[in-house]
Structure 1
């Protein structure tokens, strides 16, 4: 097994201290040590004395004995000056474990060093035997070995034994580090000594899966810009706990599972403190990979199917958080919006016939059509569904669906695709003979390229998103900062999601001792109460997805509005719900009610 010359940890960016502990318990700063910021912990002094009592020459271990989740990589070795023997103690802060190990895996590797069985480990950690078995398999894969004993040997060789032990010290007495602990435990507790420790920290790194390749490219730019703006703002204020935030971008194709799998594996090798993701067809692959490492995974696929996956095993997916309400709100909200327009007298439908034209390729998408069918019947609508054979290569599928919809003489039609190109193709074809029908799109017009594709043909189109940037003072101020930074206005959804997500992650990191303690960070995220540019975020919900105002919560301080816009004068005007609306519905220009009167 090959290791870097300076051991398994990168010490270049981390603070360190060195001290010399004599056999009488006196502590002196090492000659080359110039640090002075925090007291040398008494427990390390006692371990050094236990080291001397056992006549050892060198031990390496990780120490977490200061009551926090912080880890120190510690080396104690024998130092002789004439007849005087002393223990030379050196330590450095460890924020990133080697081999991509998580903190939980480090604990289990230590217990493997002690020779504990899976059942014993499960009891020591308070988890199930199945969970331990899964972790042991992951650990063996990371160490590139095929047995538990080989893990124990490698962990000892690399100094990957964490103190204090999570099981009785007697389990480790055959080891040098175990004998040292036993002897240290026989000594009376000591007071802290006067040697000081200087601890510095490397940047906090965020791995970002961004679909800059393929048909989601234009929206990916929104994601990248929103996150970049948030990072710059946070770093200007001093970062988190004095640490700079940095983002490592992995470009993916939203439709390509192989691309997604390779990208998330590459990010995990870089040992980030969290991974973020836009929407991906194979989001479960990224979710599974990050969760297997205990990594916080913050994604923006509005997917009730992903929420169900997370809810089905909340312990395994405790670090997974969905930054939008579920897509199953789309079709029911379309029905409720049309019904409200009709019943309030703002719109007189030409018939009771309405339709939903929807893509069928992405398995994680569930627009809530079944619930919409029930709601439509209750509200007096006749709902038709028109599936589209969604393909990656440009074809005429959406235009063909438009012609099918035209023949039904509809009062309204909803386009169930998130991609501007699909929507643009449908709208151009449908507007050749739209009749009196309203055109209602799901999400796609939030991407600025939609306006560029359709220009004047977009006028009057209605559209909705499960999470959109509000038109209030918070959203307007964000849009101004975004435009000043990138010389373009932001889209109405993913720029805001990405911006809010970085701020929420930074908030969670600021509440923990060690941002690399994944369980602690995930626990703080679960407690989130945050008002962002896209509304209010909370995650203590089914599948850790945000709440939908009017669907899963009536409290606007805890939920995000299902925002409905209409394109008026080339601008996206938020028309529903109250109190966030900044305008009112207008009959589209192709309808008789919307045509200019002579």
Structure 2
């Protein structure tokens, strides 16, 4: 009859348990899940959303390769989102919340309240780059309800006032002498661009006569023909032209139209859209000379260039200059928070995000303020390391180069060929 050796059985059982623990550690079996709503189709925003997802993917891969967060791997849960409708936005956020994600990292939505309400219902930490006053006003309306929601950058109003500040600084630097002080604004009709236009006009009015509003021309997405706009620009002949529109493909079409028969001597600023990869791809040589800006973007300092190198090795081709770095930073910031908190304790995570100071590839992130949003340099702080620089780029020799603000500028402004 077979006789059980109790000592041998005990030793073998302990060994088996130990082996199983090594092979499948409990922490490794319990990943931290980061939800990333990403528009994968549609007429606008897809490039930005993909840039954000790429940046997050690169960061998560690096974190996991280094052992994860306290031994736990990070997993990303990506869901498609229709950013153009409240229903599509809510569906994506509810999907993520109900699936048990530990945080949501979103590049942006066009309609903030449905996303914020869906996240607030579960309390899940939600970090986003909406760049909208509407998001900040909603937070201020009920800070307790939206306590775990953070805008990683600043409001779009700084695009307007910051642009006028840039013009004054560029003129004072001696790099540019405007042919006149008139500013002609071409504005698209969504709330985002309307807020930027109003902020620009307010800053012009507050300039004490240094700048004058020359004209305002309305456009409607999709812009099929830039010829009427060109006629209006020629008629006004303003020293500064601001195209307040954010769709890269349409701005590329404008650049090509303008380059053929430009308004001579005018400085031309394209609001944000050239940051998207397809602008350079579509505009080609016509892109050279145009200026554009972003209130958050990837720096060209040592840290920023190291990130750019890694990103382009992983994702070859034309690189977006905004949501690539901010997505990467957001994942890294969350990982740092999770190292010292329980990811399942949403309020503890929210408190930690509120208290963090994190220097990333796109500047310094802090949220301990009345809107739980970023801080703009030089618009809200004089300290270059206390916020995110409002970067002004110029396309030079087919590349985006930072020309402002110091100390983050790579090169000086160069007059375009039509100037």
Q: What is the TM-score with the length of structure 2 in the denominator?
A: 0.89
What is the CA RMSD across the aligned residues, in angstroms? Answer: 2.3
Alignment of structure 1 residues 491-510 onto 2, 5 Å: 491-510=320-339
Instruction: Return the match for 1:330 from 147, 159, 180.
Output: 159
In 1, Cα distance between equivalents of 2:378 and 2:122: 36
- Please give the alpha-carbon distance, in whole angstroms, between the structure 2 residues aligned to 1:379 and 1:333: 17
Is 1:562 aligned to residue 390 of structure 2? yes
Q: Is 1:585 the counterpart of 2:413 in the alignment?
A: yes
Contact kept, 8 Å, 1:401 with 1:426, in 2: the verdict is no
Please list the CA deviations of residues 9-61 of structure 1 after superposition, one character each: whole Å capped at 9, or x if unmatched: xxxxxxxxxxxxxxxxxxxx9xx999989xxxxxxxxxxxxxxxxxxxxxxxx
State how far apart, in whole Å, the 1-side matches of 2:192 and 2:320 are. Answer: 26
Counterpart Cα distance in 2 of 1:384 and 1:541? 37
Asked whether 1:320 is paired with 2:149, we answer yes
Q: Distance in 2 between matches of 1:219 and 1:271?
A: 26
What residue number does 1:300 align with? 129
1:291 deviation in Å? Answer: 0.9
Secondary structure at 2:409's aligned position in 1? coil
Contact in 1 for aligned 2:164/2:203 (Cα 8 Å): no
Partner of 1:404: 232
Query: Which residue in the other structure is 1:594 paired with?
Result: none
- Number of residue pairs the alignment of both structures matches: 398
Determine if contact 1:304/1:326 at 8 Å carries over to the other structure. Answer: yes
- Spell out the pairing of 1:22-37 with structure 2 (5 A cutoff): none
Q: TM-score, normalised by structure 1?
A: 0.63
Q: Which moved more, 1:430-439 or 1:328-337?
A: 430-439
1:575 aligns with 2:400: no
- Superposition deviation, residue 430 in structure 1: 3.4
1:467-515, Cα deviation, whole Å (9 max, x unpaired): 1111111011001111111223532111001000000111111111x20
Partner of residue 356 from structure 1, selected from 162, 185, 189: 185
Equivalences for residues 430-509 of structure 1 within 5 A? 430-431=258-259, 432-509=261-338
Q: 1:255 aligns with which of 50, 71, 84?
A: 84
Contact (CA 8 Å) 2:312, 2:319: kept in 1 or not? yes
Deviation at 1:292, TM superposition (A): 1.4
Change (3 A) 1:490 1:424: closer
Is 1:386 aligned with 2:193? no
Measured in 2, the distance between the counterparts of 1:540 and 1:299 equals 16
Distance in 1 between residues matched to 2:215 and 2:387, nearest whole Å: 29
Q: In the alignment, is the contact (CA less than 8 A) between 1:303 and 1:364 conserved in 2?
A: no
Cα deviations by residue, 1:71-115 (Å, 9 ceiling, x for unpaired): xxxxxxxxxxxxxxxxxxxxxxxxxxxxxxxxxxxxxxxxxxxxx
Task: For residues 205-262 of structure 1, give each alpha carbon's deviation from its aligned partner in whole angstroms, at most 9, with x where no partner exists.
Answer: 1111112222212222211111110010000011112111011111223323332222
The match for 2:6 is none
1:32-43 to structure 2, matched below 5 A, reads none
Summarize the alignment of residues 477-556 of structure 1 with structure 2, pairs less than 5 Å apart: 477-512=306-341, 514-556=342-384
**Cα pair distance change 1:237/1:379, threshold 3 Å:** farther
Answer whether contact 2:37 2:93 (CA < 8 A) is retained. yes
Residue correspondence of structure 1 range 26-175 to structure 2 within 5 A? none
- Partners in 1 of 2:352 and 2:277 — Cα distance? 34
How far does residue 399 in structure 1 lie from its aligned partner after superposition? 4.7
The question of whether the paired residues in 1 share the 8 Å contact of 2:193 and 2:245 is answered with no
Change (3 A) 1:351 1:371: closer
d(CA) in 2 for partners of 1:585 and 1:405?
23
1:178-209 Cα deviation digits (max 9, x unpaired): xxxxxxxxxxxxxxxxxxxx954511111111
Contact kept in structure 2, 1:415 and 1:442, CA below 8 Å: yes
The structure-2 alpha-carbon separation of the partners of 1:468 and 1:363, relative to structure 1 and needing over 3 Å to count, comes to: closer
Q: Which runs of 5+ in 1 are unaligned?
A: 1-28, 38-197, 592-598
* Cα separation, partners in 2 of 1:379 and 1:499, compared to 1, 3 Å: farther
Structure 2: stretches of 5+ with no match in the other structure: 1-9, 19-24
Larger radius of gyration: 1
470-479 or 413-422: which moved more?
A: 413-422
For the 8 Å contact 2:363–2:387, the answer to whether it is kept is yes
In 2: Cα distance, 1:440 partner to 1:343 partner: 18
